[in-house]
A and B are shown apart, each in its own frame.
Chain A
Amino acid sequence: MDYNMNNWPFQWFGFWKEYGIGYENCPSMHNFIDIEANSRYNKPALISYLKHSSILVTTSGANFPSPISGKVGNKEVSIKTDGKWLWFDAIILSIEFDGLVIPTRWYNEIEAKGFNCGTVTEDMIAGLNWPPLNS
């Protein structure tokens, strides 16, 4: 897979092959590091958006150190959704500290919504595009 911020056809994000077993079909986080593009983000608004969306499932952050810096969250990490996109919120630390970028298409959608997630319905959740993980 040769995906990057401008070539990402999916609506899930933040699952990296560097996490190991179960994540083999995911892209490398290294393909999504762009410090210059990251610096142009409205970071407080973006991070707030990513933090305060609906939780689908949650676990311990210590299991998912950053593949770039090794930085480990000391709280929970969750798979979250805004009703259309689905993401693993360990990306928040990497956006803050590693220069991680999200798909341009997604960032533009978030910005167009004024960084306001809105209401997530059960129908939206049922229609989500999940990553190709293995058990």
Chain B
Amino acid sequence: MTTGLNLYFDGAITTERNNYDWESIGKLMYADAGFRTEMLSRNPKSADWMSNASSMEVMEGLMPVAVSSGVGSWAGTRFLSTNSAASGAIAYGNVNDPFLIYAQRAKPYENYLDVVLHGSPRGVWYRPDMMIDHRVLANLIRNSPQFAGQPIRLLSCNTGRLADGFAKNLSNALGVGVRAPEDIIWAFPDGKLSIGPTYIGGKSFVNFSVGIKK
């Protein structure tokens, strides 16, 4: 727990008081009830910041790097980020999540960059109680040191299920090809992956290209 530290924002949560990003704080207050309570108790003006922030959709640009936090439901939780993921992959979520751990052991596919997180046909989970859209993930990937314009393999359930769903939109947002599972993805401790409604598999990855439906 880091409760008691003075935490501020300058695009990411930080302990340094510079470049306050009140708009981002307001947006995050929408997304996280614990953080909202904390901010309202710290500064009455934060109610105005929140009322000026319209929705999570405009969180693009927020939190390029996640750090340990001492506020609200973030308290004491470490999140995987571009800086702490295993070499050759990016993962977002709780560091102890076995899905993220095992999926990062997957055999690489060609020159694709693996991005590992829990997902759905229309959104992905940046952390267990925060779903983000393709624009936010695109921004996070763009800010990752592992990303150098290579195509992306999403190890994230159902993100390739829809022709106009998450993977397609991510491909357009990033301007690179995206390969994503058309069903649930299962990860074994040795890094083996299977795709399907059960662990037996039977489904596959789907390729999405910029500007063209699959």
Do A and B come together as binding partners? yes
Taking a contact as CB atoms under 8 Å apart, the answer to whether B186 and A62 are in contact is: no
Partner-binding segment picked from A19-27, A39-47, A106-114: A19-27
**Residue of chain A at shortest CB distance from B201:** A135
Query: Given that A55-B189, A60-B118, A63-B157 are contacting pairs, would A74 and B198 also be in contact in the complex, using a CB cutoff of 8 Å?
Result: no
Which residues of the other chain, B, contact A7 by a CB distance below 8 angstroms? none
Which residues of the other chain, B, contact A133 by a CB distance below 8 angstroms? 198-200
CA distance A133 to B186 in the complex (A): 14
A106 to chain B, nearest CB (A): 21
Taking a contact as CB atoms under 8 Å apart, the answer to whether A60 and B188 are in contact is: no
Contact flags A1-44 to B (C-beta < 8 A → 1, else 0): 00000000000000000011111000000000000000000000
Q: Which listed residue, A56, A63, A74, A134, touches B188 by the CB 8 Å rule?
A: A56
Taking a contact as CB atoms under 8 Å apart, the answer to whether B185 and A59 are in contact is: yes
Interface residues on A, range: 20 to 34
B158 CB–A CB distance under 8 Å: yes
Taking a contact as CB atoms under 8 Å apart, the answer to whether B201 and A60 are in contact is: no
Taking a contact as CB atoms under 8 Å apart, the answer to whether B157 and A134 are in contact is: no
- A: residues with CB less than 8 A from B are 19-23, 55-63, 74-76, 78-79, 133-135
Partner-binding segment picked from B97-105, B134-142, B170-178: B97-105
**Residue of chain A at shortest CB distance from B197:** A22
Taking a contact as CB atoms under 8 Å apart, the answer to whether B197 and A19 are in contact is: yes
A58 to chain B, nearest CB (A): 5
12 further A-B contacts with Cβ under 8 Å, apart from A58-B99, A63-B184, are: A19-B197, A21-B197, A23-B198, A57-B186, A59-B99, A59-B157, A59-B185, A59-B187, A62-B118, A63-B158, A74-B128, A133-B199
